[in-house]
Structure 1
């Protein structure tokens, strides 16, 4: 008797995890980092999102769609960090 094949994990889970990690990193950078260092730390946060994306997609273990899933993770993280960066820039224009 053979065992039934298990259902594969959802490939979008890794994409959403990377987006969530990028959002949490952006929030932490906005809270804990001084304004003059935020851009540099957002770049570091994006690098971490890229590494996390590769790690999660390699852990998923499915070769089909690897580039698409990784690109979706990285592009979403880049857009999210860009929007947060624009928010930081607009907040810097408002007098305190």
Structure 2
């Protein structure tokens, strides 16, 4: 992976993490770095799932892939918030 791929993955991870955090209702007790980390992981897993389902490479914007990634980020943010609140 080249440097521009890494930078774009970080940017997409930030966007996905923030959108996933906005989807989860209420206040989350996780930091910005955790949100970015969850977003990056959700973006990578969502891309793999979308490729497996055959919806990753379409003409124009891949809306289904974005929805999968945002949904995974929301689940990740909620799970991490729940794990942190139990401590």
TM-score clears 0.5: no
The two structures have a TM-score, normalised by structure 1, of: 0.39
Computing the radius of gyration over CA atoms, which structure comes out larger, 1 or 2?
Answer: 1
TM-score normalised per structure 2: 0.42
